[in-house]
Structure 1
Amino acid sequence: MSPDRRGPLVVAHRGASAARPEHTLAAYELALEEGADGLECDVRLTRDGHLVCVHDRKVDRTSSGTGIVSEMTLDSLNALDYGSTSEPAELLTLSDLITLALDFARPVKLFIETKHPVRFGGLVEAKLLAELHRFGIASPPSADHSRAVVMSFSATAVWRVRRSAPLLPTVLLGDASRYLGGGASTAVGATAIGPSIKALREHPDLVDRAAAAGRATYCWTVDDKADVDLCRELGVSWVATNHPGRTKQWLGSV
Protein backbone atom coordinates (compact mmCIF):
# COMPACT_ATOMS: atom_id res chain seq x y z
CA MET A 1 0.00 0.00 0.00
CA SER A 2 2.77 2.40 -0.87
CA PRO A 3 1.74 5.99 -1.68
CA ASP A 4 1.92 7.27 -5.24
CA ARG A 5 4.56 9.94 -5.90
CA ARG A 6 1.89 12.22 -7.41
CA GLY A 7 -0.13 12.14 -4.22
CA PRO A 8 -2.75 9.87 -2.70
CA LEU A 9 -4.30 7.16 -4.81
CA VAL A 10 -8.06 7.45 -5.17
CA VAL A 11 -10.52 4.92 -3.78
CA ALA A 12 -14.16 5.12 -4.90
CA HIS A 13 -16.21 5.04 -1.69
CA ARG A 14 -19.08 2.61 -2.39
CA GLY A 15 -18.35 3.38 -6.04
CA ALA A 16 -18.88 6.81 -7.58
CA SER A 17 -21.61 7.17 -5.00
CA ALA A 18 -22.18 10.91 -5.38
CA ALA A 19 -23.40 10.27 -8.94
CA ARG A 20 -24.88 6.77 -8.78
CA PRO A 21 -26.68 4.78 -6.07
CA GLU A 22 -24.09 3.42 -3.65
CA HIS A 23 -22.83 -0.16 -3.92
CA THR A 24 -24.44 -0.67 -7.33
CA LEU A 25 -22.80 -1.94 -10.48
CA ALA A 26 -23.45 1.44 -12.13
CA ALA A 27 -21.59 3.24 -9.32
CA TYR A 28 -18.53 1.01 -9.62
CA GLU A 29 -18.49 1.04 -13.41
CA LEU A 30 -18.56 4.84 -13.38
CA ALA A 31 -15.74 4.90 -10.83
CA LEU A 32 -13.60 2.76 -13.09
CA GLU A 33 -14.40 4.99 -16.08
CA GLU A 34 -13.34 7.99 -14.01
CA GLY A 35 -9.97 6.43 -13.26
CA ALA A 36 -10.38 5.23 -9.66
CA ASP A 37 -7.32 3.38 -8.38
CA GLY A 38 -9.37 1.40 -5.86
CA LEU A 39 -12.96 0.39 -5.12
CA GLU A 40 -14.33 0.41 -1.57
CA CYS A 41 -17.24 -1.66 -0.36
CA ASP A 42 -18.90 -2.77 2.86
CA VAL A 43 -19.89 -6.41 3.19
CA ARG A 44 -22.52 -8.18 5.24
CA LEU A 45 -23.63 -11.80 5.43
CA THR A 46 -27.11 -12.85 4.42
CA ARG A 47 -29.09 -15.41 6.40
CA ASP A 48 -28.07 -18.10 3.91
CA GLY A 49 -24.37 -17.24 4.01
CA HIS A 50 -23.73 -14.92 1.04
CA LEU A 51 -21.56 -11.81 1.23
CA VAL A 52 -23.38 -8.78 -0.18
CA CYS A 53 -22.32 -5.17 -0.64
CA VAL A 54 -24.52 -3.26 1.81
CA HIS A 55 -23.42 -0.64 4.33
CA ASP A 56 -26.34 -0.46 6.73
CA ARG A 57 -27.65 -3.19 9.01
CA LYS A 58 -31.00 -2.71 7.27
CA VAL A 59 -31.85 -2.26 3.59
CA ASP A 60 -34.45 0.44 4.28
CA ARG A 61 -32.30 3.44 3.27
CA THR A 62 -30.78 2.01 0.10
CA SER A 63 -33.51 -0.21 -1.38
CA SER A 64 -37.18 -0.35 -2.23
CA GLY A 65 -37.81 -2.71 0.68
CA THR A 66 -37.30 -3.08 4.40
CA GLY A 67 -35.58 -5.60 6.62
CA ILE A 68 -32.36 -6.64 8.33
CA VAL A 69 -29.71 -7.99 5.94
CA SER A 70 -28.62 -10.83 8.24
CA GLU A 71 -32.22 -12.04 8.55
CA MET A 72 -32.86 -12.10 4.79
CA THR A 73 -31.86 -14.62 2.14
CA LEU A 74 -30.00 -13.68 -1.01
CA ASP A 75 -33.12 -14.35 -3.06
CA SER A 76 -35.25 -12.04 -0.91
CA LEU A 77 -32.61 -9.31 -1.12
CA ASN A 78 -32.37 -9.76 -4.89
CA ALA A 79 -36.09 -9.09 -5.18
CA LEU A 80 -35.56 -5.47 -4.11
CA ASP A 81 -34.49 -2.44 -6.17
CA TYR A 82 -31.26 -0.71 -5.08
CA GLY A 83 -31.29 2.03 -7.70
CA SER A 84 -33.47 5.02 -8.31
CA THR A 85 -36.80 5.59 -10.02
CA SER A 86 -35.06 6.33 -13.32
CA GLU A 87 -32.29 3.75 -12.97
CA PRO A 88 -33.32 0.57 -11.13
CA ALA A 89 -30.42 -1.55 -9.90
CA GLU A 90 -29.83 -5.02 -8.50
CA LEU A 91 -28.05 -6.05 -5.34
CA LEU A 92 -24.30 -6.45 -5.79
CA THR A 93 -22.62 -9.46 -4.22
CA LEU A 94 -18.96 -9.39 -3.25
CA SER A 95 -18.35 -12.00 -5.93
CA ASP A 96 -19.82 -9.62 -8.53
CA LEU A 97 -17.54 -6.81 -7.41
CA ILE A 98 -14.39 -8.95 -7.33
CA THR A 99 -15.14 -10.18 -10.84
CA LEU A 100 -15.62 -6.60 -12.07
CA ALA A 101 -12.30 -5.48 -10.56
CA LEU A 102 -10.26 -8.46 -11.75
CA ASP A 103 -11.68 -8.29 -15.28
CA PHE A 104 -10.96 -4.59 -15.70
CA ALA A 105 -8.28 -3.52 -18.17
CA ARG A 106 -5.94 -2.09 -15.53
CA PRO A 107 -5.11 -3.22 -11.98
CA VAL A 108 -7.61 -1.98 -9.42
CA LYS A 109 -7.39 -2.65 -5.69
CA LEU A 110 -10.43 -3.67 -3.66
CA PHE A 111 -10.90 -2.20 -0.18
CA ILE A 112 -13.36 -4.46 1.63
CA GLU A 113 -14.79 -3.39 4.99
CA THR A 114 -16.35 -5.90 7.36
CA LYS A 115 -19.04 -4.50 9.66
CA HIS A 116 -19.21 -5.24 13.40
CA PRO A 117 -20.83 -6.02 15.72
CA VAL A 118 -22.95 -8.50 13.76
CA ARG A 119 -24.79 -11.67 14.68
CA PHE A 120 -22.34 -13.83 12.69
CA GLY A 121 -19.18 -12.61 14.46
CA GLY A 122 -15.96 -14.01 12.99
CA LEU A 123 -17.83 -15.98 10.34
CA VAL A 124 -17.84 -12.78 8.26
CA GLU A 125 -14.03 -12.74 7.99
CA ALA A 126 -13.94 -16.52 7.43
CA LYS A 127 -16.39 -16.24 4.53
CA LEU A 128 -14.53 -13.24 3.14
CA LEU A 129 -11.17 -15.01 3.16
CA ALA A 130 -12.75 -18.07 1.56
CA GLU A 131 -14.08 -15.88 -1.25
CA LEU A 132 -10.69 -14.24 -1.76
CA HIS A 133 -9.08 -17.69 -1.87
CA ARG A 134 -11.64 -18.78 -4.46
CA PHE A 135 -10.52 -15.91 -6.71
CA GLY A 136 -6.85 -16.57 -5.97
CA ILE A 137 -6.18 -13.23 -4.29
CA ALA A 138 -5.94 -14.17 -0.61
CA SER A 139 -2.18 -14.84 -0.66
CA PRO A 140 -0.53 -12.07 -2.68
CA PRO A 141 3.23 -12.11 -3.33
CA SER A 142 3.48 -8.93 -1.26
CA ALA A 143 1.20 -6.35 0.31
CA ASP A 144 2.02 -3.83 -2.42
CA HIS A 145 0.91 -6.28 -5.13
CA SER A 146 -2.26 -7.37 -3.37
CA ARG A 147 -5.52 -6.90 -5.25
CA ALA A 148 -7.50 -6.82 -1.98
CA VAL A 149 -7.29 -4.96 1.31
CA VAL A 150 -9.46 -5.89 4.30
CA MET A 151 -10.62 -3.13 6.65
CA SER A 152 -12.66 -2.87 9.82
CA PHE A 153 -13.39 -0.63 12.77
CA SER A 154 -13.11 -3.82 14.81
CA ALA A 155 -9.57 -4.55 15.97
CA THR A 156 -10.58 -8.17 16.55
CA ALA A 157 -11.71 -8.49 12.94
CA VAL A 158 -8.40 -7.11 11.67
CA TRP A 159 -6.55 -9.55 13.92
CA ARG A 160 -8.55 -12.48 12.53
CA VAL A 161 -7.49 -11.57 9.00
CA ARG A 162 -3.84 -11.02 9.92
CA ARG A 163 -3.73 -14.37 11.68
CA SER A 164 -5.33 -16.30 8.82
CA ALA A 165 -3.94 -14.41 5.80
CA PRO A 166 -0.74 -12.65 6.94
CA LEU A 167 0.17 -11.37 3.46
CA LEU A 168 -3.11 -9.53 2.96
CA PRO A 169 -2.86 -5.81 3.77
CA THR A 170 -5.26 -4.61 6.43
CA VAL A 171 -6.56 -1.24 7.62
CA LEU A 172 -7.67 -0.54 11.17
CA LEU A 173 -10.35 2.12 10.79
CA GLY A 174 -11.18 4.63 13.48
CA ASP A 175 -12.21 8.16 14.31
CA ALA A 176 -10.07 8.66 17.42
CA SER A 177 -6.41 9.58 17.19
CA ARG A 178 -5.62 7.87 20.50
CA TYR A 179 -7.04 4.60 19.16
CA LEU A 180 -5.22 4.71 15.81
CA GLY A 181 -2.02 6.31 17.04
CA GLY A 182 -1.76 4.13 20.12
CA GLY A 183 -1.16 0.45 20.52
CA ALA A 184 -4.28 -0.91 18.79
CA SER A 185 -2.85 -0.98 15.27
CA THR A 186 0.38 -2.52 16.57
CA ALA A 187 -1.43 -5.13 18.64
CA VAL A 188 -3.46 -6.43 15.70
CA GLY A 189 -0.67 -6.10 13.12
CA ALA A 190 -2.57 -3.73 10.81
CA THR A 191 -0.54 -2.61 7.81
CA ALA A 192 -2.35 0.74 7.67
CA ILE A 193 -4.47 3.06 9.77
CA GLY A 194 -7.73 4.54 8.54
CA PRO A 195 -8.66 7.86 10.15
CA SER A 196 -11.62 9.96 9.08
CA ILE A 197 -10.79 13.26 7.42
CA LYS A 198 -12.09 15.01 10.56
CA ALA A 199 -9.62 13.09 12.73
CA LEU A 200 -6.82 13.84 10.27
CA ARG A 201 -7.56 17.57 10.29
CA GLU A 202 -7.38 17.58 14.07
CA HIS A 203 -4.34 15.31 14.29
CA PRO A 204 -2.24 15.65 11.12
CA ASP A 205 0.70 14.00 12.91
CA LEU A 206 -1.11 10.65 12.57
CA VAL A 207 0.38 10.11 9.09
CA ASP A 208 3.99 10.58 10.20
CA ARG A 209 3.44 8.48 13.32
CA ALA A 210 1.99 5.68 11.19
CA ALA A 211 4.85 5.93 8.69
CA ALA A 212 7.41 5.73 11.49
CA ALA A 213 5.81 2.43 12.50
CA GLY A 214 5.85 1.16 8.92
CA ARG A 215 2.16 1.75 8.26
CA ALA A 216 0.36 3.49 5.43
CA THR A 217 -2.61 5.83 5.90
CA TYR A 218 -6.06 5.44 4.32
CA CYS A 219 -8.33 8.44 4.91
CA TRP A 220 -12.14 8.58 4.59
CA THR A 221 -14.32 10.27 3.27
CA VAL A 222 -12.44 13.00 1.39
CA ASP A 223 -14.75 15.05 -0.83
CA ASP A 224 -13.51 18.66 -0.56
CA LYS A 225 -10.52 20.06 -2.45
CA ALA A 226 -8.96 21.52 0.69
CA ASP A 227 -9.05 18.09 2.30
CA VAL A 228 -7.60 16.43 -0.79
CA ASP A 229 -4.77 18.97 -0.73
CA LEU A 230 -4.22 18.30 2.98
CA CYS A 231 -3.97 14.57 2.38
CA ARG A 232 -1.47 15.12 -0.42
CA GLU A 233 0.60 17.47 1.75
CA LEU A 234 0.66 15.03 4.67
CA GLY A 235 1.58 12.02 2.53
CA VAL A 236 -1.63 10.03 2.87
CA SER A 237 -1.45 6.87 0.74
CA TRP A 238 -5.11 6.41 -0.16
CA VAL A 239 -8.14 8.71 -0.03
CA ALA A 240 -11.67 7.33 -0.10
CA THR A 241 -14.08 9.67 -1.86
CA ASN A 242 -17.61 9.76 -3.22
CA HIS A 243 -16.27 11.77 -6.19
CA PRO A 244 -13.42 9.71 -7.71
CA GLY A 245 -13.31 11.50 -11.06
CA ARG A 246 -13.23 14.98 -9.58
CA THR A 247 -10.64 13.93 -7.00
CA LYS A 248 -8.40 12.45 -9.70
CA GLN A 249 -8.61 15.76 -11.57
CA TRP A 250 -7.70 17.74 -8.47
CA LEU A 251 -4.66 15.53 -7.99
CA GLY A 252 -3.68 15.98 -11.63
CA SER A 253 -3.63 12.23 -12.15
CA VAL A 254 -6.06 11.84 -15.06
Structure 2
Amino acid sequence: MASRKTAFVWHRIGLLLLTLCCAALTVSAINPYAAEGPLIIAHRGASGYAPENTMAAFELAERLGADFIELDVRMSKDGELVVIHDKSVDRTTNKTGFVHDYTLRELQKMDAGSYFHADYAEETIVSLEEVMDRFYGRIGLLIEIKDPPLYPGIEKKLAAVVLRYKLLQAITGIGRSGSFQGIEGIEGRADIFIQSFDFKSTRRIHALLPDIPVAVLIHADRHLLDYLI
Protein backbone atom coordinates (compact mmCIF):
# COMPACT_ATOMS: atom_id res chain seq x y z
CA MET A 1 0.00 0.00 0.00
CA ALA A 2 2.81 2.38 0.95
CA SER A 3 4.76 1.60 -2.22
CA ARG A 4 1.67 2.23 -4.35
CA LYS A 5 1.13 5.60 -2.64
CA THR A 6 4.80 6.51 -3.14
CA ALA A 7 4.57 5.61 -6.84
CA PHE A 8 1.45 7.76 -7.17
CA VAL A 9 3.22 10.74 -5.57
CA TRP A 10 6.24 10.38 -7.85
CA HIS A 11 3.91 10.04 -10.84
CA ARG A 12 2.25 13.35 -9.95
CA ILE A 13 5.63 15.01 -9.41
CA GLY A 14 6.80 13.73 -12.79
CA LEU A 15 3.72 15.13 -14.52
CA LEU A 16 4.26 18.47 -12.80
CA LEU A 17 7.89 18.63 -13.90
CA LEU A 18 6.95 17.65 -17.45
CA THR A 19 4.30 20.40 -17.52
CA LEU A 20 6.79 22.99 -16.28
CA CYS A 21 9.37 21.92 -18.87
CA CYS A 22 6.80 22.12 -21.67
CA ALA A 23 5.75 25.58 -20.47
CA ALA A 24 9.35 26.77 -20.44
CA LEU A 25 9.97 25.40 -23.93
CA THR A 26 6.77 27.03 -25.20
CA VAL A 27 7.69 30.44 -23.77
CA SER A 28 11.17 30.13 -25.30
CA ALA A 29 9.74 29.11 -28.66
CA ILE A 30 7.23 31.96 -28.91
CA ASN A 31 9.61 34.66 -27.66
CA PRO A 32 10.17 36.57 -30.93
CA TYR A 33 13.35 38.29 -29.89
CA ALA A 34 15.28 35.69 -27.94
CA ALA A 35 19.00 36.28 -28.23
CA GLU A 36 21.94 34.10 -27.33
CA GLY A 37 23.41 35.93 -24.36
CA PRO A 38 23.23 39.65 -23.59
CA LEU A 39 23.20 42.22 -26.37
CA ILE A 40 25.87 44.88 -26.54
CA ILE A 41 24.21 48.19 -27.51
CA ALA A 42 26.48 51.17 -28.12
CA HIS A 43 24.67 54.19 -26.65
CA ARG A 44 24.85 57.01 -29.23
CA GLY A 45 27.58 54.89 -30.79
CA ALA A 46 30.87 54.39 -28.94
CA SER A 47 30.20 57.72 -27.24
CA GLY A 48 32.82 57.21 -24.55
CA TYR A 49 35.55 57.20 -27.20
CA ALA A 50 34.17 59.43 -29.98
CA PRO A 51 31.65 62.29 -30.25
CA GLU A 52 28.13 60.93 -29.74
CA ASN A 53 25.76 60.26 -32.62
CA THR A 54 28.45 60.79 -35.26
CA MET A 55 29.77 58.48 -37.95
CA ALA A 56 33.03 58.20 -36.00
CA ALA A 57 31.15 56.89 -32.95
CA PHE A 58 29.08 54.45 -35.00
CA GLU A 59 32.06 53.11 -36.95
CA LEU A 60 34.03 52.61 -33.76
CA ALA A 61 31.09 50.78 -32.15
CA GLU A 62 31.00 48.40 -35.10
CA ARG A 63 34.76 47.79 -34.90
CA LEU A 64 34.50 47.11 -31.17
CA GLY A 65 31.94 44.40 -31.84
CA ALA A 66 28.67 45.98 -30.66
CA ASP A 67 25.47 44.17 -31.64
CA PHE A 68 23.46 47.38 -32.02
CA ILE A 69 24.10 51.08 -32.19
CA GLU A 70 21.61 53.34 -30.45
CA LEU A 71 20.91 56.72 -32.06
CA ASP A 72 18.52 59.62 -31.57
CA VAL A 73 16.42 61.20 -34.31
CA ARG A 74 14.86 64.62 -34.63
CA MET A 75 13.54 66.58 -37.59
CA SER A 76 15.15 69.54 -39.32
CA LYS A 77 13.47 72.73 -40.49
CA ASP A 78 12.98 71.21 -43.95
CA GLY A 79 11.50 67.98 -42.60
CA GLU A 80 14.54 65.70 -42.77
CA LEU A 81 15.41 63.16 -40.08
CA VAL A 82 18.69 64.04 -38.39
CA VAL A 83 20.71 62.21 -35.76
CA ILE A 84 21.23 64.29 -32.62
CA HIS A 85 20.27 63.85 -28.97
CA ASP A 86 19.50 67.38 -27.72
CA LYS A 87 16.73 69.61 -28.99
CA SER A 88 19.36 72.33 -29.48
CA VAL A 89 22.76 72.17 -31.16
CA ASP A 90 24.48 74.12 -28.36
CA ARG A 91 26.16 71.28 -26.45
CA THR A 92 27.57 69.20 -29.29
CA THR A 93 28.32 71.67 -32.10
CA ASN A 94 29.97 75.03 -32.73
CA LYS A 95 26.57 76.72 -33.25
CA THR A 96 23.56 77.58 -31.10
CA GLY A 97 19.82 77.27 -31.53
CA PHE A 98 17.18 74.59 -31.94
CA VAL A 99 17.55 71.71 -34.37
CA HIS A 100 14.19 72.47 -36.00
CA ASP A 101 15.34 76.01 -36.84
CA TYR A 102 18.04 74.71 -39.22
CA THR A 103 17.78 72.91 -42.55
CA LEU A 104 19.55 69.62 -43.09
CA ARG A 105 22.21 71.31 -45.22
CA GLU A 106 22.88 73.87 -42.46
CA LEU A 107 23.10 71.16 -39.81
CA GLN A 108 25.51 69.13 -41.94
CA LYS A 109 27.90 72.09 -42.09
CA MET A 110 28.25 72.28 -38.30
CA ASP A 111 31.29 71.00 -36.42
CA ALA A 112 29.89 68.20 -34.26
CA GLY A 113 33.19 66.78 -33.04
CA SER A 114 35.51 69.45 -31.68
CA TYR A 115 33.60 69.67 -28.39
CA PHE A 116 34.80 66.11 -27.75
CA HIS A 117 38.33 66.42 -29.11
CA ALA A 118 40.13 68.44 -31.78
CA ASP A 119 40.84 65.23 -33.69
CA TYR A 120 37.13 65.02 -34.53
CA ALA A 121 36.71 68.49 -35.97
CA GLU A 122 35.56 67.04 -39.30
CA GLU A 123 32.59 65.21 -37.77
CA THR A 124 29.19 66.67 -38.60
CA ILE A 125 25.54 66.12 -37.78
CA VAL A 126 24.34 63.33 -40.06
CA SER A 127 20.96 62.40 -41.48
CA LEU A 128 19.27 59.13 -40.60
CA GLU A 129 19.55 58.06 -44.22
CA GLU A 130 23.32 58.52 -44.12
CA VAL A 131 23.45 56.16 -41.14
CA MET A 132 21.12 53.67 -42.82
CA ASP A 133 23.21 53.76 -46.00
CA ARG A 134 26.37 52.96 -44.08
CA PHE A 135 25.16 50.53 -41.42
CA TYR A 136 21.83 48.92 -42.27
CA GLY A 137 22.32 45.17 -42.55
CA ARG A 138 25.79 45.37 -40.98
CA ILE A 139 24.84 46.12 -37.38
CA GLY A 140 21.56 46.42 -35.49
CA LEU A 141 19.97 49.86 -35.17
CA LEU A 142 18.11 51.03 -32.07
CA ILE A 143 16.41 54.27 -33.06
CA GLU A 144 14.97 56.63 -30.44
CA ILE A 145 12.41 59.24 -31.45
CA LYS A 146 13.19 62.37 -29.42
CA ASP A 147 10.45 64.82 -28.32
CA PRO A 148 7.96 63.84 -31.06
CA PRO A 149 5.46 66.64 -30.18
CA LEU A 150 8.08 69.08 -31.48
CA TYR A 151 8.12 67.35 -34.86
CA PRO A 152 4.61 66.60 -36.17
CA GLY A 153 4.72 63.73 -38.64
CA ILE A 154 8.09 62.37 -37.52
CA GLU A 155 6.68 58.85 -37.18
CA LYS A 156 5.51 58.80 -40.80
CA LYS A 157 8.91 60.07 -41.95
CA LEU A 158 10.70 57.39 -39.94
CA ALA A 159 8.37 54.64 -41.12
CA ALA A 160 8.94 55.64 -44.75
CA VAL A 161 12.72 55.43 -44.32
CA VAL A 162 12.59 52.07 -42.56
CA LEU A 163 10.23 50.58 -45.13
CA ARG A 164 12.44 51.79 -47.97
CA TYR A 165 15.47 50.00 -46.55
CA LYS A 166 13.44 46.91 -45.70
CA LEU A 167 12.33 46.78 -49.34
CA LEU A 168 15.91 47.26 -50.49
CA GLN A 169 16.97 44.37 -48.25
CA ALA A 170 14.25 42.14 -49.68
CA ILE A 171 15.33 42.95 -53.25
CA THR A 172 19.10 42.84 -52.86
CA GLY A 173 19.53 40.52 -49.88
CA ILE A 174 21.63 43.10 -48.05
CA GLY A 175 22.42 42.01 -44.51
CA ARG A 176 21.48 38.37 -45.10
CA SER A 177 25.05 37.17 -45.09
CA GLY A 178 28.22 38.05 -43.23
CA SER A 179 28.79 38.37 -39.51
CA PHE A 180 25.67 40.33 -38.52
CA GLN A 181 23.02 37.98 -37.19
CA GLY A 182 20.46 40.31 -35.61
CA ILE A 183 17.87 38.84 -33.26
CA GLU A 184 15.61 36.01 -34.31
CA GLY A 185 12.14 37.41 -34.93
CA ILE A 186 8.76 36.16 -36.06
CA GLU A 187 9.52 36.89 -39.70
CA GLY A 188 13.29 36.74 -39.80
CA ARG A 189 15.89 38.71 -37.89
CA ALA A 190 15.10 41.85 -35.94
CA ASP A 191 17.68 44.36 -37.13
CA ILE A 192 15.83 47.54 -36.16
CA PHE A 193 14.21 48.55 -32.88
CA ILE A 194 12.38 51.84 -32.29
CA GLN A 195 11.85 53.44 -28.90
CA SER A 196 10.56 56.64 -27.33
CA PHE A 197 9.54 58.13 -24.00
CA ASP A 198 6.35 59.32 -25.69
CA PHE A 199 3.53 56.76 -25.40
CA LYS A 200 1.45 58.24 -28.23
CA SER A 201 4.45 58.25 -30.54
CA THR A 202 5.20 54.58 -29.88
CA ARG A 203 1.58 53.70 -30.61
CA ARG A 204 1.74 55.61 -33.89
CA ILE A 205 5.00 54.01 -35.00
CA HIS A 206 3.70 50.56 -34.06
CA ALA A 207 0.59 51.13 -36.18
CA LEU A 208 2.79 52.18 -39.11
CA LEU A 209 5.40 49.43 -38.63
CA PRO A 210 3.63 46.51 -36.90
CA ASP A 211 6.48 44.10 -37.66
CA ILE A 212 9.17 46.28 -36.07
CA PRO A 213 9.82 45.85 -32.32
CA VAL A 214 8.85 49.01 -30.41
CA ALA A 215 9.87 49.89 -26.85
CA VAL A 216 8.27 52.38 -24.48
CA LEU A 217 10.84 54.12 -22.29
CA ILE A 218 9.82 55.21 -18.81
CA HIS A 219 11.33 57.60 -16.31
CA ALA A 220 10.37 57.94 -12.66
CA ASP A 221 10.09 61.72 -12.97
CA ARG A 222 7.80 61.55 -15.99
CA HIS A 223 5.70 58.39 -15.67
CA LEU A 224 3.72 57.11 -12.71
CA LEU A 225 3.80 53.33 -12.38
CA ASP A 226 0.11 53.15 -11.51
CA TYR A 227 -0.62 54.90 -14.82
CA LEU A 228 1.38 52.29 -16.70
CA ILE A 229 -0.41 49.45 -14.93
* TM > 0.5 fold call: yes
1:74 & 1:112 partners in 2: Cα distance? Answer: 19
Quick one: distance in 2 between partners of 1:37 and 1:62? 25
Map of 1:140-159 to 2, 5 A cutoff? 142=186, 145-159=189-203
Alignment partners' CA distance in 1, 2:130 and 2:189: 21
Q: Choose between structure 1 and 2 for higher RCO, CA contacts under 8 A separated by at least 6 residues.
A: 1
Corresponding position: 1:25 with 2:25: no
Contact 1:143 1:168 in 2 (8 A): no
Match of 2:119 among 72, 86, 89: 86
Number of equivalences: 180
Q: 8 Å contact 2:45–2:58 — kept in the other structure?
A: yes
2:187 counterpart of 1:172: no
Distance 1:26 1:42 in 2: 15
Greater helix share, structure number: 2
Distance 1:143 1:72, change over 3 A: farther
Could you give the per-residue CA deviations for residues 169-195 of structure 1, whole angstroms, max 9, x where no partner exists? 0010012399586674x8xxxxxxxxx
Deviations 1:129-180 (A, max 9, x none): 0111111269997376122111000010110011121111001001239958
Q: What are the residue-to-residue correspondences of 1:75-154 with 2, within 5 Å?
A: 75-84=105-114, 85-88=118-121, 89-102=123-136, 104=138, 108-121=139-152, 123-136=153-166, 142=186, 145-154=189-198
> Structure 2: which 5+ runs fail to align?
1-31, 171-184
Specify the code of the residue in structure 1 equivalent to 2:128: L
- Identity among equivalent positions (%) equals 34
Give the 3-state SS of the residue equivalent to 1:111 in structure 2. Answer: strand
TM-score relative to the length of structure 1: 0.64
The alpha-carbon deviation at position 118 of structure 1 amounts to: 3.5
Quick check: 1:138–1:168 contact (8 Å CA) kept in 2?
A: no
In 1, distance between residues paired with 2:140 and 2:60? 16
Cα pair 2:83 2:127 within 8 Å, conserved:
yes
- The 3 A distance-change label for structure 1 pair 139 and 157 is farther
